[in-house]
Amino acid sequence: MNVSEIDEFIGAFLILIGSVISVISAMGIIRFPDVYTRAHAATKSTTLGVQLSLVGAFIYIWMTEHFISVRLILGILFVFITAPVSGHLIIRAAYRSKVKMTEDTVEDELKPVLGNKMDVH
């Protein structure tokens, strides 16, 4: 194996691992009981899966075509910034809309923080 084949393998391997993590995340979104745990699966795992796939594509294109894709770099940065923030906002909106937590939830850490603010509309 020469260096070019190793670089192609690394890129393809990262894409494969990112795809597997994305499938696991999709299963978590389907199987988890409430919006809070589903949003956790959607933001944490999917962000990692998409990041690995984009980094793998970036490495593969960079090593095979000798071309640095600015679009992939921007995609990596965009997903890295927006996915966790959007997940946080979705969970916060669900909490403020009084979406029920599952019965297995042990502690509500936002109740002492938001307490009286939840009653104001």
Q: Does the model's pTM come out above 0.75?
A: yes
Note the Cα 86 to chain centre separation in Å: 10
pLDDT of 1 reads 75
- Tell me the percentage of the chain whose pLDDT exceeds 90: 40
For residue 33 the two structure tokens come to 């009981």
What is the tens place of the pLDDT at every residue in 31-40?
Answer: 998 888 888 8
Tell me the H-state helices in the chain.
Answer: 3-31, 35-40, 46-65, 70-96, 111-114
The confidence band for 120, taking pLDDT boundaries of 50, 70 and 90, is very low
pLDDT at 53 over 90: yes
Instruction: Please answer whether residues 92 and 85 qualify as being in contact, where contact means their C-beta atoms are separated by less than 8 angstroms.
Output: no
Instruction: Please answer whether residues 7 and 67 qualify as being in contact, where contact means their C-beta atoms are separated by less than 8 angstroms.
Output: no
What are the sequence ranges of the domains in the chain? 3-119
* Residue 90 to residue 77: CA distance in whole angstroms: 20
Give the mean pLDDT of 76-89.
90
What is the tens place of the pLDDT at every residue in 12-52?
Answer: 999 999 999 999 999 989 999 888 888 888 888 878 999 99
Intra-chain end-to-end CA distance of the chain, in Å: 65
pLDDT of 27 reads 92
- If residue 102 lies in a helix (H) or strand (E), which one and from where to where? none
